[in-house]
Chains A and B, each alone.
Chain A
Amino acid sequence: MSALAVYAGLGWRRWSAYRTAAAAGAFTNTVFGLIKAAITMGAIGAAGGILAGYDALTGATYAWLAQALIGPVNVFTWSELAERIRSGDIAIDLARPIDPQAGYLAADLGRAAFQLVPRAAPPLMVGALVTGLALPGQVLPYLLGLVSVTLAVVVSFACRWLVNLAAFWLLDLRGVMTLYLVASNLLCGLVVPVHWFPPWLAAVAAWTPFPAMLQHPIDIIMGRAAGPDALVLLGEQVAWALGLLVVGRAVFELGARRVVVQGG
């Protein structure tokens, strides 16, 4: 357990070393937030003031929260593991006295913990100034939200872990990663809220883990899902996180059997 804490600490330190990169990421998230909030408010205005339960202010809040969570949850691609598999460095991870999946997950949680404030605060502050934010006044949604964001990081990690494992069987993963990016970004609610989807697309999204990466935590933080509804969403996140981690572990073991370590 203490080894995992060290990994989490290393994840934090590694990402906190590049301050300019964090600032640049937050800046880009904020500029996209300005565009996204304007599109969202424009669409809600065109729909007559309310669209799928969002008015202009809650719609803008959704856009800003999505931008704030991009960094910590990491809804984009990650290819570090795939590169280690391709280069053979994965053999070193296999030789370590710590479970590789647990080690990488701990490091990713450390990364997310560091990025939570520097990547989320700037878009939210600009959002509060430019459009205003509709956030609940009680403490509970934020506490549940923090749990939900943590679970979202785990679900996101478990998905990225699985995509990376394809490197055991494929030489070039760029196409696979791009297709993953497309599916996840649409279905997690980054592009538009899942609640805006036409029924057939909403049904597709409900069968994937992607809403658990972004839509669920935002619903909980904004108080759209409160009380028992919030607990259902959290339960869904836990189920996805555990299920995907177990599958990821099985696939990793299958792939690791293909690794041939040369002596020397």
Chain B
Amino acid sequence: MVGIVFVSADGGEREVEAPVGATVMLAAIRNDIRGIDAECGGSLNCATCHVYLDPACLPLVPGPSHDEAALLAHVSAERRPTSRLSCQIAIAPGLPRLRVALPEHQTCPF
């Protein structure tokens, strides 16, 4: 199990546990974390699972694939260098606790 701290747009924090093999997106859905829509269920279609990874956690996980980066270019909230699609962040064995912030909105205006 890996702890994931979700920081909501208004600053509230909640820590949940995610099993190895899951993704940050799945942990959010299972724990009813508001602010991650994940309309496509993790199949890299929707860009509604956008999060900001804490800068300290960036080196802990592999960077975005070409396709993830392409979708990140169209997220509806501000895109930052720490932007990731949470369905693409896998919980690997040995991963220390992750901290992710939720953007103000997900659903694209299109």
Whether chain B is bound by chain A comes out as no
